[in-house]
Amino acid sequence: MKSDSTAQRGRNPRGQGGRLREEIVAAAIELLDTLGDDQALSMRAVAREIGSAATSVYLHFADRDALVLAALERYHGDLVRAIDAAEAASDDPVDKLRARTRVLGAWAYRHPGLYKVLHESTLNQRAEMPFKRQLTERTTAAIQRCMDAGLAPEDDAPSVTLDLRAAVHGAVSMRLNQPDQPWPPLEDQIERFLIKLVGVAPAR
């Protein structure tokens, strides 16, 4: 983090306001991951992080909720791209589904604060986050591919997705909030979820 004594940045050259916005969002992501609470984030803290004045932050975001939503959308986009990359490493529908589900769990451990803000914050009760549907839709498509290939029993893919999502998020959330419990390896638990909830064969 930058010191409070960091000199305030000067006015951005014409056409570089977008760059400042990107820096603001990046700083908010870093702070949210540390704080794990959107209510603890302040616009002034974000301004200090980038060495700017709070008024510069307000020029791009009307309030804290708007900034947090922008940060969460960026974070979620990075997560989706990481999952897609893991899925692309295999041609087998079940291995693709397994890879994307494992990345989701591992990502939460790397970014526990952001995970909590994305799924457990009061902002979830006050604001729409339509970008979150992208991950759900892609998981549903992955499950449907398993069914279409005869690698999972025919079922309602959106319902199976909801069951799998609830199980994985529950397992991750419990680990993050109760880290001292003797949890089994998350990868092993995810494998059981895939077998029991989706109906795929165990990994070879």
Q: Domain map of the chain by residue range?
A: 17-64, 69-198
Query: For residue 3, what pLDDT is reported?
Result: 38
Q: Which residue has the higher pLDDT, 22 or 127?
A: 22
Query: What whole-number distance in Å separates Cα of residue 150 and Cα of residue 121?
Result: 39
Query: For residue 106, what pLDDT is reported?
Result: 87
pLDDT surpassing 60 at residue 5: no
Query: What whole-number distance in Å separates Cα of residue 96 and Cα of residue 82?
Result: 13
Average pLDDT, the chain: 90
Query: For residue 17, what pLDDT is reported?
Result: 64
Lowest mean pLDDT of 6-10, 25-29, 64-68, name the range. Answer: 6-10
Query: What whole-number distance in Å separates Cα of residue 146 and Cα of residue 116?
Result: 30
Express each pLDDT in 153-175 by its tens digit.
999 999 999 999 999 999 999 99
Q: What is the identity of the amino acid at 86? A: A
Report residue 16's pLDDT band, with 50, 70 and 90 as the boundaries.
low
| 124 touches 68 (CB < 8 A) | no
SS3 state of residue 110: helix
> In this structure, is the dihedral angle defined by the CA atoms of residues 159, 154, 95 and 84, taken in order, positive or negative?
negative
Query: Model-level pTM?
Result: 0.84
CATH 1.10.10 fits 17-64, yes or no: yes
Same fold, 17-64 and 69-198: no
Query: What whole-number distance in Å separates Cα of residue 144 and Cα of residue 26?
Result: 35
Class of the CATH domain delimited by 69-198: mainly alpha
Q: Which two tokens stand for residue 143?
A: 């499950």
Query: For residue 131, what pLDDT is reported?
Result: 92
Task: Encode 181-190: b = buried (16+ Cβ within 10 Å), e = exposed.
Answer: eeeeebeebb
pLDDT surpassing 80 at residue 29: yes
